[in-house]
Amino acid sequence: MQMKSTLSLEKAGEHMRRKMANLRDIAAEQMRDLRMLTRDRVEVGAGRYIAKEGTRCGVVYLVESGWVFRSRTMSAGQRQIINYAIAGDLLCADSVMFGASGFDLIARTPVSLFRIDVPTHAALIERYRGLAASLAWTAGQEESVLAERVVSLGRRDSLQKLAHALCELSERLSVIGKMSVDIIEAPLNQEDFADLLGISVIHVNRTFRKLSEENIAEYRKGRIELLDRKRLAEIAVFNRAYLHFE
Amino acid sequence: MQMKSTLSLEKAGEHMRRKMANLRDIAAEQMRDLRMLTRDRVEVGAGRYIAKEGTRCGVVYLVESGWVFRSRTMSAGQRQIINYAIAGDLLCADSVMFGASGFDLIARTPVSLFRIDVPTHAALIERYRGLAASLAWTAGQEESVLAERVVSLGRRDSLQKLAHALCELSERLSVIGKMSVDIIEAPLNQEDFADLLGISVIHVNRTFRKLSEENIAEYRKGRIELLDRKRLAEIAVFNRAYLHFE
DNA sequence: CGAGTACTTGAGATTTATCAAGGAAGGTGG
DNA sequence: CCACCTTCCTTGATAAATCTCAAGTACTCG
């Protein structure tokens, strides 16, 4: 690996660690493991698959930059986005345990990844405790995020769903220093929001309009301005605890 | 602990291991850790809270018998069931990582639990690798189940949702030997199904009627007879891979 | 027998989806 | 620089799914 890559790995690792505030004690170990096991950097073009549903995977990636969707496409063609990954997130964290991915991983933008060659689970626990801890943290946090997503999809109406998603985006981008004041810069078009929230594109549009009519948030081509975060959080009944940041 | 408890722990541990087929190599270690760390057995009455949203928890439970719901109750009173736990499932597996539970854990029936005093994460990895592996497996599997739940809630209609839930119930009960041929015996009334599927009670009722009109499944007070599993699985487009059994 | 719980059914309201069409923005080749 | 194309956003009208309200029924338990 060249210098430039190494520096970027440090940065991605830093993003990762900033989320995992409650793992501070093994941060150094974690970083050492990352350096040890990171083989190469992978660039993936926008729209390309990183993993396909049902495919064996057996590798973990650390996102350096770009956006990745984990999604399922139904036989009738509808898509459900399960989660999105951004800088500092791990992909396929569960492949250590299960080998195969149950869902598609698709690059939404050009993506830069560090490939981490994870050894067997036993070796991982024995020799790479820092990474083992990160993987466990990631699995736990992702589970928590998905639980909140289940609540959203099951029991919030479209306005609350959208408001909640915007609050979450804002928090997750903040942690990696990608939140310019009150502007969410995300490569999500309205169709992406539809597939994340489990509603139709047209309804996403109308819901955004509702937010904009009330001067709460404004959608402009993958750039969302939050005009009134307080009301947004009220609508969503947002409680950031489930993200387990800090 | 008395003999009776010990025997029951063996049985619960066996249920647990049967799910984790891909962890066979550390099964013995896992069982030893369980015996080591299991302090006492806790009985919880139907309807009682095992953990409350936002409460510190810091303890893991292994379910010996009974049904537990992980759920969230919204300010307007609606409830969303995120997942259910049955014999052999671990509760609060993520509390090792995060300490606090983000959701309510409520006993749906009288429940018998083994309390497992989990040491710090570091000690866990160092000295109790079997349990560490189980916890990692559980976190990963739960994540996978929740991802599938997100898909259901987001992109399946009520008939598909119900069919999918019935297929999942059948699989999960089978693994712990609780599936009499084609009869799902579960303490779920129609309101529970509503809160699991994110729809209204009345609509659950109508959806069950639809299944019954077509001789696919029959609901009778917490006892569901599967008359045509093939068609049920077709409706749900069910693929058991996400459960990661065997 | 009465009370409570859960299930069932109908009717009308609401939310959300679908269909159809038009408009803005950005890129490309001429 | 313009004409054209594509992608995405926007809007209206209508349809479908689902919810809510209201009421009635079955069953269980004391």
Q: Does position A3 have pLDDT exceeding 70, yes or no? A: no
pLDDT, tens only, A143-152: 999 999 999 9
Token output for A236: 């969503």
Structure-token pair, residue B130: 């079997």
Shortest CA distance from B161: residue in chain A:
A154
Q: Chain B residue with minimal CA distance to A80? A: B151
Helical residues (DSSP H) of B88-200, grouped into ranges = 95-98, 121-127, 129-155, 158-175, 190-197
List CB contacts (< 8 A) between B102 and chain A: 144, 147-148, 241-242
Handedness of CA A125, A128, A129, A135 (dihedral sign): negative
**Chain A residue with the nearest C-alpha to that of B104:** A147
List, edge to edge, every strand of the sheet that includes A38-44. A38-44, A111-116, A60-65, A90-91
Query: CA(B126)–C1'(C4) in Å?
Result: 54
Q: In this structure, are residues B121 and A71 in contact, taking their beta carbons and an 8 Å threshold?
A: no
- Inter-chain CB proximity B97 and A146 less than 8 Å: no
CA of A206 to C1' of D7 (A): 19
* Distance in angstroms between the alpha carbons of the first and the last residue of chain A: 32
**Any bridge partners for residue B116, and if so which?**
B38, B60
The CA distance from A172 to the nearest CA of chain B, in Å, is: 18
Cβ proximity of A18 and A176 under 8 Å: yes
CA of residue B12 to C1' of nucleotide C28, angstroms: 66
The model's pLDDT over A28-51, given as tens digits with 9 standing for 90+, comes to 999 999 999 998 999 999 999 999
Spacing of B44 CA from D24 C1' in Å: 36
The nucleotides of chain C lying under 7 Å from a protein CB are 6-11, 15-20
Q: Which of B25, B82, B155 sits opposite A150 (nearest CB)?
A: B82
pLDDT by 10s per residue, chain B, length 246: 444 567 789 999 999 999 998 888 889 999 999 999 998 999 999 999 999 988 888 789 999 999 999 999 999 999 999 999 999 999 998 888 888 888 999 999 999 999 998 888 778 888 898 898 899 899 999 999 999 999 999 999 999 999 999 999 999 999 999 998 899 999 999 999 999 999 999 999 999 999 999 999 999 988 999 999 999 999 999 999 999 997
Provide CB contacts within 8 A for B228, sequence distance 6+: B214, B215, B216, B217
Pairing type for strands B49-51 and B104-107 reads: antiparallel
What is the structure's pLDDT at A1?
Answer: 47
Chain D nucleotides covered by protein, CB below 7 Å: 8-13, 17-22
> pLDDT (tens digit, 9 = 90+) per residue, A158-173?
999 999 999 999 999 9
From A136, A143, A127, A113, select the one nearest A23 (Cα to Cα). Answer: A136
Question: How high is the pLDDT of residue A133?
Answer: 87
State the nucleotide closest to B160 in CA–C1' terms: D17
Q: Say what the pTM is.
A: 0.95
The phi, psi pair for B141, rounded to 5°, reads: -70, -40
Phi, psi of A34 (to 5 degrees): -60, -45
Distance, in Å, from the CA atom of B156 to the CA atom of B236, rounded to the nearest integer, reads 8
Query: Smallest CA–CA separation between B1 and chain A, in Å?
Result: 30
Buried b (16+ CB within 10 A) or exposed e, B57-89: bebbbbbbbbbbbbbbbeeeebbbbbbbbbbbb
Cα dist from B73 to A123, A234, B102, B104, B157, whole Å: 41, 16, 12, 8, 23
pLDDT (0 to 100) of residue A5: 64
Cα angle A96-A98-A103, degrees, rounded to a multiple of 5:
105
Between CA B145 and CA B158 the distance in angstroms is 18
Chains A–B, number of C-beta pairs less than 8 Å apart: 148
Q: Are strands B68-73 and B79-85 parallel, antiparallel or unpaired?
A: antiparallel
Helix A158-175 to helix A229-236 angle, to the nearest 10 degrees? 120
* Contact check, Cβ <8 Å, B122/A25: yes
Measure the CA–CA gap between B88 and B137, rounded to whole angstroms: 13
| pLDDT for position B35 | 93
